[in-house]
Structures are given as structure tokens and as C-alpha cells.
Amino acid sequence: MLFPPWAAKIEARTMSYIDSMVLNLTERSCRRFQRLTGRTNVWLAVQLTNLSIIVYFVWAAVYSWSSGVPARIFVGLFCGGLLYVLTQTIFKVPVEVYENDAYRRVAKGFRNPRRVRDALLRISFLTLSVVLCYPVLFVYVNLHLHVVLLSYLLVVLTTGVLYLLACDPLPPCAGKVKEWLRGSVPSQLAGSESSGGE
């Protein structure tokens, strides 16, 4: 049975509304995190990317563990090549460069272009994250397939990275935790000096 055209439009509007709601919630959370720690959404996205790379290599190791020798050699060569490519691309540029680009864009008054440009990709991954949750849990509990769980984790991490990269950071700030730690260190040093002088 085919859906009428108006149903597709309503569904598209609903998904866009859910996407913008999740994106706004993510941005608010990132800004609170930045006020607290001084770390931006870009820093968080890089950390999630690093985690997803680790999960991918664990996934490849789990897959090759149950395979024959030729498959292990292929997976090992592929992962080695992928690691080389990562060192030449993602790992080559420090996080500060990405953060400075985001700061400059925000200072000029521009919104993040990824908010609009990556909307379909975010919606697709968000849908996958929600729809696959129960089937993955069912397969993992009943068949004990770790590869399925790791694959789903990669989908969830990619969804998180897409939402983090679409946020706008606040202007640079030290963070309340850093200020609190800096404030407590001199008082501890003064306390130890006064007790040592007596």
C-alpha cells in the first residue's frame, strides 16, 4: 500500500522537528559542559570520534577472531592501512585548529552550516539508532553476538558525533572546574607553607 503524498510531508516535518529538538538539546548540553570544563562541542566530537575508531578496531578484532587465517590477514592489512590514513587526515590536525575555526565563525555571527547541510544524515542515523535498538538487544541477548552490539555502538557514536559537530560553541572560557581547581591550589600551598614555617 502506498502512502499519500501529504503523509510523507507530515512525516518529513515531524522528523525535522525531532531533529531540531535533539540538536537544540545537544547544543544546550554542550554549552553547559563548556561553561563547566572549558571544553567545546568540537572537543567532545573529537573524543567521540576517537572512541568510535577504537570501537571499530575492536569490532574488526572480534570479527577476525572467529575467521580463518586469510580473513585475519586481510582484516589486519585493512586496519593497518586505515590507521595510516587516519594518521594522515584526522589525527594530523589538532583539536585547537577546529575549535579556533568554530570560534571565528561564531564571532562573525554565522551559524554552523552543518545544522542544515547534515540534517538528512543526522535524521538517518537517529532513525537507525532508535529503530535498531530493540533488534540488536534481542540478537545480543539470545544469540550472544558481540559483533552486532559493536556495530550498533558505532551507529550510536556516529549519531552523537553528527549532532555535536552541528552545534555552535560559546566564546572561549576557562571553565568553572578549572577556576575552582586553580583557586584551591594556592590556598593549599599557603596552608602547607604556614604549617612548615611554624
Range of 10-19, 177-186, 188-197 with top mean pLDDT:
10-19
Q: Cell for 113?
A: 552550516
Q: What is the pLDDT of residues 20-70, one digit of tens each?
A: 999 999 999 999 999 999 999 999 999 999 999 988 888 888 878 777 888
